[in-house]
Amino acid sequence: MIDFTLDSASRLDLFLISILYFGIVLFNWKKVLYINTWDSSKKKERRWLLFFAFLFSVISIYQGDFFHYQDVVHNADIFSDSFSFEDIYAYLILLTRRNYLLFRIIVWGGALVFIDWTFRINGVDRYGALFFFFSVFISTFDYSRASLGVSVYFLGLSILLNHNKKFIRLFFGLIILIGSFYFHRSMLLLILFTPAIFLPINRYSVLVYIILIILAAGPIQRLMASFADTIMELDDSFDLSSRMDIYLNSERKNVNFSIIGRLITIWSYAFYYVTFIVDAKHILFNNTTPISPSIRKIFSVEFAIVLFATFVLFTGFGSKSFFYRYLFMTMVPSSVLTTYLYQTGIMSRKTLILLLLFGGGYIAFSFVYRVLLVGA
């Protein structure tokens, strides 16, 4: 059966996948900028975009982790102590008979379908949301299996928030949300952040939450360290313990935790903060157009994630990877919120274009850099 057998990506490989990215974005650019005049004829375009986004995610050979996962699927001793992935991936490797192509189709293809389903449940324009997601977040989405966990979590959360007083739907959403933990262990903290949906969110309460976090930084840091130590002391063989140990200690020697170093790190991931701030501005300072309660609650969870990631970065608790893993999880709520704000007329077309140019420009630059770097 057809499978990936690449050892590395050539300059031609990188050039071709770069052309695929640019082609997808440019072909859909003008159509999506008019998503606030949505009509049923664009369902065909959305399906083609979903297909090409799916294809791009499956063949993302420009990511270094693509080859790491390939090696794991082809050669790892699954169900052994050395296998660091969640058990579900061991079963999936068995199910696919170590076929990496099928593995990627199920993991990243499935995650993309869940994200598209999340857009639908939240009532946002699926074509516009998918285009925004692909244009600015695809290089985050297709590099790690954590994307499947994130997609499952936000699918469950969306069902939970849009249950329409139906108990079965509410229960189903809660099960999916909790089940995201089995697709990636880092979902544990997202599950713990879920009660943020009950917090009042407005321009004043957000400021109060930030001030309280700053004032309580010391005790919170000690509590988090104690929480991590407690988990690791429960059972040395417990997978979560070892993974948290990796998250909290990896890259510490390589990360500059000086103030300047932290600011440079934030700049490296500036787009995630810019998108969050732009969305927050339009949600918190909007006095004209009513915003859906479920959209506000999704913003509450995103706010908790960004606050936590920033806290981790500035307190020096853990590693750079711990910071960016959680910051990257905002890719799904950011796509939902930005699309909703634009299609309801709260966000202007100019603002959306600037976000697309900022985020898409970074990806475009990274592709050009990779093509020039290989073989140099």
Residue spans of the domains in the chain: they are 11-373
Of 274, 258, 363, 257, the residue nearest 320 (C-alpha): 257
pLDDT per residue of the chain (376 residues) written in tens, 0 to 9: 788 888 888 888 889 999 999 999 999 888 777 655 544 456 788 899 999 999 999 998 888 788 989 999 999 998 888 888 899 999 999 999 999 999 999 999 999 999 999 999 999 989 999 999 999 999 889 888 899 999 999 999 999 999 877 888 889 999 999 999 999 988 998 999 999 999 888 888 888 888 887 777 667 666 666 655 554 454 444 444 455 555 444 444 444 445 644 554 455 688 999 999 999 999 999 888 889 999 999 999 999 999 988 888 777 655 567 778 889 999 999 999 999 999 899 999 999 999 999 888 888 888 887 787 764 4
Phi, psi dihedral angles at 236 (to 5 degrees): -60, -20
Cβ-based neighbour number of residue 22 at 10 Å: 14
Token pair 């990627």 in the structure block, residue: 104
DSSP string across 126-164: HHHHHHHHHHHHHHHHTT-THHHHHHHHHHHHHHHHT-T
For 187, the token pair is 């979902």
CB-based contact 142:69 (threshold 8 Å): no
Distance CA 182, CA 176 (A): 10
Cβ-based neighbour number of residue 320 at 10 Å: 20
Range 242-259 burial, b when 16+ CB lie within 10 A, else e: ebbeebbeeeeeebeeee
